[in-house]
Amino acid sequence: MFGRALGISVPSLQNDPPDGLQMDALSSKYSMYNSVSQKLMAKMGYREGEGLGKFSQGRKEIVEASLQRGRRGLGLKLKGFDGDLNVDWQEEAEPGAYERVEWFPECSCEVPPAAELRDWMTIGQRKMEIEDETEFCDGELLSNVLRCKSVFDELEGEEMRRARTRSNPFETIRGVFFLNRYQCPERELVGGVGCLGCRGLGEGSEGGVDGDGDITRPENISEFRRFVLENTERKGVHFLMADGGFSVAGQENLQEILSKQLLLCQILVGLSVVRTGGHFVCKTFDLFTPFSVGLIYLLYMCFERVSLFKPVTSRPANSERYVVCRGLKSMTDPVRDYLFTVNLKLNQLRNSELDVNCVVPLDTIRSDSDFFEYMVKSNQRHAVAQVKALAKIHAFSRDS
Domains of the chain: 1-63 (no CATH), 114-398 (3.40.50.12760)
Model confidence at 12, in pLDDT bands (50, 70, 90)? very low
End-to-end CA distance of the chain: 35
Distance, in Å, from the CA atom of 64 to the CA atom of 336, rounded to the nearest integer, reads: 62
Helix (H, G, I), strand (E, B) or coil at 357: strand
Interval 322-355: pLDDT, tens? 999 999 999 999 999 999 999 999 999 999 999 9
Nearest to 76 by CA among 158, 21, 5, 148: 158
For 303, the 3-state DSSP assignment is strand
Contact between residue 215 and residue 221 where contact means Cβ atoms under 8 Å apart: yes
| Per-residue pLDDT band at 19 (split at 50, 70, 90) | low
User: For the residues 140-144, what does the mean pLDDT come to?
Assistant: 92
Among the residue ranges 10-19, 107-116, 246-255, the one predicted with the least confidence is: 10-19
Among 167-171, 291-295, 325-329, 360-364, which is the least confidently predicted range? 167-171
Residue 356 bridge partners (DSSP): 123
**d(C-alpha 341, C-alpha 368), whole Å:** 25
Query: What is the spatial distance between Cα 147 and Cα 84, in angstroms, rounded to a whole number?
Result: 11
Q: How many CB atoms lie within 10 A of CB 376?
A: 15
Alpha-carbon gap, residue 73 to 223, rounded angstroms: 53
CA dist 323 and 99 (Å) reads 15
CB 284 within 8 A of CB 88: no
CB-based contact 349:132 (threshold 8 Å): no
Work out the widest C-alpha separation in the chain, in whole angstroms: 102
Q: Give the pLDDT confidence of 200-251 residue by residue, as tens digits.
A: 443 445 566 676 778 999 999 999 999 999 999 999 999 999 988 888 877 8
**107-121 per-residue burial string, b: 16 or more CB within 10 A, e: under 16:** beeebbeeeebeebb
Between CA 244 and CA 335 the distance in angstroms is: 21
Please report the pLDDT score of residue 46 as a whole number. 74
User: H or E segment at 125?
Assistant: strand 122-125
Residue 276, SS3 per DSSP: strand
Side chain identity at residue 220, one-letter code: N
**Looking at 2-6, 19-23, 235-239, which range is the least confident one?**
2-6
Q: Which residue has the higher pLDDT, 216 or 396?
A: 216
Confidence band, pLDDT 50/70/90 cuts, at residue 257: very high
Greater confidence (174 vs 288) lies with 288
- Weakest-pLDDT range from 3-17, 188-202, 275-289, 358-372: 3-17
Q: For residue 100, how far is the Cα from the chain centroid?
A: 21
**Among the listed residues 296, 280, 309, the one whose alpha carbon sits nearest the alpha carbon of residue 381:** 309
User: How many Å apart are CA 214 and CA 190, to the nearest integer?
Assistant: 8
Q: What is the pLDDT of residue 84?
A: 59
Q: What string of DSSP letters covers 56-99?
A: S-S--SPPPPP---TTSPTT---TT--S------S--PPP----
What are residue 180's DSSP bridge partners? Answer: none
CA 169 to CA 315: how far, in whole Å?
Answer: 10
Helices 218-230 and 333-348, packing angle to 10 deg: 150
Give the C-alpha separation, 299 to 111, whole Å: 10
Residue 232 carries which DSSP code? T
CB neighbourhood size of 299 (10 A):
22
Whole-number pLDDT of residue 332:
96
Report the mean per-residue pLDDT for the chain.
Answer: 79
Count other C-beta atoms under 10 Å from residue 9's C-beta.
18
pTM for the full predicted model: 0.73
d(CA 98, CA 103): 16
If you average pLDDT over each of 94-98, 183-187, 241-245, 321-325, which comes out highest? 321-325
